[in-house]
Structure 1
Amino acid sequence: MARHQGTTIAFAMDAARRIVYSVLDLTGPPTKGEVDAAYWSDNPAELAFPRELAEVGYAVVGATAMPTVKRGGAEAAPGEQPAEEEVDPHLSTTGRLTADAPFQVVSDGTYVVVLRQSVGAGDAGAVHKLTGAVRPGRRRARTTYWTPTARRCRWSVTPCCATGSCWWTAS
């Protein structure tokens, strides 16, 4: 729980390691009663995380996009660009790297900051960077990633992001 600019915000993590939040809105109609439990959001919102990873010290290279995962857990096929409502907002972002561990939320009055622990290298949701991989028939090296559950490499027909990165994925 955190207090930000006079508003109380509660955070929680579910069994799938998704972090959700709810805002206490005491400005609502007084017909809800005097108990503050009636003034929390009806449906907690899922906390949004970035869809890219940036390496410290490599700002010139740019960030690398996380793999796109459709709702239900299936990864998008190479070259496939699913509609936004088909994309899993947790597995397609760095949110998938959140460990099942306590997290902290702080506010400096301007920003709300969530401090969380990342998953270990052997976790099924982890991604690992492989460097210097060259796709057959190509001259330049690409940055590739793999997950511990990967069985073989699957290359994208088009780059996943502007840096020409792709992912090692289960298929």
Structure 2
Amino acid sequence: MNSKIKLIKGDITKQHVDAVVNAANSSLMGGGGVDGAIHRAGGKQILDDCMDIINRQGRCKTGEAVITTGGKLPARYVIHTVGPVWNGGHKNEPELLANCYRNSLQLAVDKGIKTIAFPNISTGIYHYPKAEAAQVAINAVNNFLKDNDSIAEVTFVCFDEENFALYKDLLG
């Protein structure tokens, strides 16, 4: 396992890192799952920042990432990325999901962020198969870290036991 990668089972809204990643929807207005939890825990400032982004550039496209304040979260920033909805793997879902991790990490590097925590993007209401999503996530992060040493630590935060077990097996 890459020494910069950590795995925990827990709540992403409680992570003491520079940035947490939000599995957002394209409207950036909050929603269910991780997205709703981050917006609820982080408060109005995150929503206000998201509204500013929407007013500036429009919706966030699948695989892209944007950054806001962390609001009331212990993390200083929230990086919002829009994962793909699973359509049987025939709509470029693996590449789009990998882009979520790559673009979030690149945004972190650009902002001088050293520690970042990811949820299991797209594995909830977007129905991406958990085992495949875990493989894409780990490969994308490992490949990014090979070429970039400014990120000190990446934490995968698994909310459920199934994802935690999958990541644990894949990370060794």
TM range (shorter): under 0.3
The structure whose residues are more often strand, as a share, is: 1
The TM-score with structure 1 as length reference comes to 0.23
The TM-score with structure 2 as length reference comes to 0.23
The structure whose residues are more often helix, as a share, is: 2
Q: Larger radius of gyration, structure 1 or 2?
A: 1
Choose between structure 1 and 2 for higher RCO, CA contacts under 8 A separated by at least 6 residues: 2
